[in-house]
Structure 1
Amino acid sequence: MYVPSFFYILAICKFITAASYLGKPCQSEYRLTIFYHYCLHLNDKNQNIKLSSTSALKDELIESDYQGWVRDQKAHWIKAFLKSQASSIPIDFNPDSLKNSGHDWWFTDRFDDDDDDDGINHEVESDLLKKAEGSNEYILRERYRYVGVADGVGGWEDEMIDPAQVSQSLMYHSHQISTSDPELEPSSVISRAYDKMVSDPFVRGGASTALLARLDTFTSTLDWSNLGDSSLWIFKGSDLRQSFQTIPQTHYFNCPYQLTKLPTSRNPNLNQHFQSINLDLPTLADSGSCSLDDGDLILVCTDGLADNLWPEEVTNLIRGISTKNTCRSDLEFVHDLAHRISSYARMASFQTRRVTPFEIEARRNSIDDLGGGKVDDITLIVSLVRKL
């Protein structure tokens, strides 16, 4: 029996989403050296890059699809950050300090070229009821909301490889795949994105964790898939208590499960070393599903947050901000949450006398010289559930 499209317009909730990213300090000279080795890699891939003037190469290189996507996202993000923080940014603040993307990357499914889009706070409201005669494809695209974070493994810098290449490529392909086929489970999206990343000649090599979450506006449910040590937290009830947190997947201390692309080297011994590495596959990802209620908060973050803040601290921050939220919109609320929680985590990461989850985990593994916070990239996506 034929059922018209509007029959499926059953959205019962919406998700209001914001994101915040704070990169760790990075030496520009070191990144230039890594960039030089990347140009060598492109030459090996017959890109014919001239290596006589490394400092000018960035203007000459052909961008891959994922690199162009990252550049556009970064431009939106910087614009939005400067706009949202206009009243508190110091006069001598240098916007160029925001251009270092670090090793983390992320996406939400409402990041486009609309000039009205703030680039960081994506109010994800369903327009289904206004477009009842839309196609099934449109309805499916509007039904699901995808968000994701990835954390490039910094150890690959020792091999002169930029860890951000893998995390950015994974998030780009996850965004493309989930947009074109929104009914795919998060685990399938990760698997397909991994295959795309490995085959991308513009990704020299490296590794990254990956966490994807899919929000369903028809059923008010959350599906997720996580490989590595990024985290998904859910806070529920009028007291916004923490009701769920994913369990990190690690081989040993500070070595998470990771999706890897093995590089090739001009050194045969190094190639042999790379080939001896046991690779984690997307099938190892931990997946799950849960129902959501009005007012629930979903936090998706990289380990830069979870390593520096205890769940109780995050809960207290959320409650404190929520108490003061009586006169603001939901969008302003989630924006404030994302910014203040990530800023607090960044502050904690530089404190040497603070007892952090990272320090306690190090002690559990008989490592006693890692006291205080862990300086790292911090990426956080916050999503608020509202029933229609």
Structure 2
Amino acid sequence: MVGSGFYIPKSNLEKPLGEDAHFICEEESTMGVADGVGGWAKHGIDAGDYARELMSNVAKAVKHEPEGYVNLRRVLNEAYLQTKANGSSTASIVTVDKEHVFHAINVGDSGFMIFRNNKLLYRSTIQQHRFNRPYQLGNDKRSDTPKIAQEYRLKVLGGDILILGSDGLWDNVFVSEIEKTLMLRNVEGKGDVQDLASFIAQLAFSFSMDKNTLCPYAEAAKHAGIERVGGKVDDITVLVARVNFK
């Protein structure tokens, strides 16, 4: 697959790197995103450190996998055990194997969508204990472990578009907006993928700063009995890949 990413950290002088982290291993057709849980800030902990270390360890583990196949549960377990930073984060990792099968493993409210012919084909489900409290990996005894991770396997076709993101994307952009974007853009080579990741991330950012918009997060809040309007200011990570089969 051909992949690229774009990251917009929310403005915070104390944490200029934000709390999201991601990696792309293009040769292994694997990419992942983690979102450090912001609640740790009240304890003086930057959860972005945990997210960055976790994704770094996942990328290292991917490099040691057999050619053509990446066992995502094994990779996530190994990275989780090697990550020692304080804090916690969500995690979503996807890969496409040499048999043209898409695999994903997901913890929390980061996640993925697959598009075919500019239409949503499949999306991951949110894992959360309650509204706005996602499942999360961490070293604290209150955190979750990879045992609760959901796994996905789907057959994909050449030309399918994979979009992976932190909740800063999914909380602010409706599926219909992404479908509309795909209809207006040709996604073929590396440059197209880069441009698409950048465009979607900036679209999410513009919605996040709109105090009057109706966004997916506001809809979810309403279902939880909370009335709110406006976008959700957050770190925004968007990874895009186009499935290419030779």
State the TM-score bracket (shorter-chain normalisation). Answer: over 0.9
* Structure 1 runs not aligned, ≥5 long: 1-14, 32-99, 110-123, 125-141, 263-276
Superimposed CA distance per residue, residues 22-68 of structure 1 (whole angstroms, 9 cap, x where no aligned partner): 1101033xx5xxxxxxxxxxxxxxxxxxxxxxxxxxxxxxxxxxxxx
TM-score, normalised by the number of residues in structure 2? 0.95
Superimposed CA distance per residue, residues 268-326 of structure 1 (whole angstroms, 9 cap, x where no aligned partner): xxxxxxxxx5331101001011111121000011000000001111111111123xx6x
TM-score, normalised by the number of residues in structure 1? 0.61
In 1: Cα distance, 2:244 partner to 2:136 partner: 34
Contact 2:70 2:95 in 1 (8 A): no
Contact 1:187 1:224 in 2 (8 A): no
* Map of 1:302 onto structure 2: 166
In 1: Cα distance, 2:202 partner to 2:31 partner: 21
Q: Which has the larger radius of gyration?
A: 1
Contact 1:19 1:380 in 2 (8 A): yes
* Map of 2:61 onto structure 1: 177
Note if 1:244 corresponds to 2:109: no
Note if 1:106 corresponds to 2:106: no
* Map of 1:138 onto structure 2: none
In 1: Cα distance, 2:223 partner to 2:13 partner: 32
* Map of 2:13 onto structure 1: 27
Structure 1 segment 1-388 matched on structure 2, within 5 A:
15-28=1-14, 31=15, 100-109=16-25, 124=26, 144-182=28-66, 183-197=69-83, 200=84, 203=85, 205-216=86-97, 218-237=98-117, 240-262=118-140, 278-322=142-186, 330-368=189-227, 370-388=228-246
* Structure 2 runs not aligned, ≥5 long: none
Q: Following superposition, which runs of at least 4 residues in structure 1 exceed 6 angstroms of deviation?
A: none
Contact 1:148 1:171 in 2 (8 A): yes
In 1: Cα distance, 2:96 partner to 2:23 partner: 14
Using the TM superposition, give the Cα deviation of residue 184 of structure 1 relative to its aligned residue in structure 2, in angstroms: 4.3
Contact 1:228 1:250 in 2 (8 A): yes
* Map of 1:274 onto structure 2: none
Contact 2:101 2:153 in 1 (8 A): yes
Superimposed CA distance per residue, residues 213-255 of structure 1 (whole angstroms, 9 cap, x where no aligned partner): 1121x21111110000011100013xx1101000000001110
Larger displacement relative to structure 2 (225-234 or 378-387): 378-387
Contact 1:178 1:189 in 2 (8 A): yes
Letter of the 1:330 partner, please give it.
G
In 2: Cα distance, 1:307 partner to 1:352 partner: 14
* Map of 1:93 onto structure 2: none
Pick the structure with more strand per residue: 2
Q: CA RMSD in A?
A: 1.4
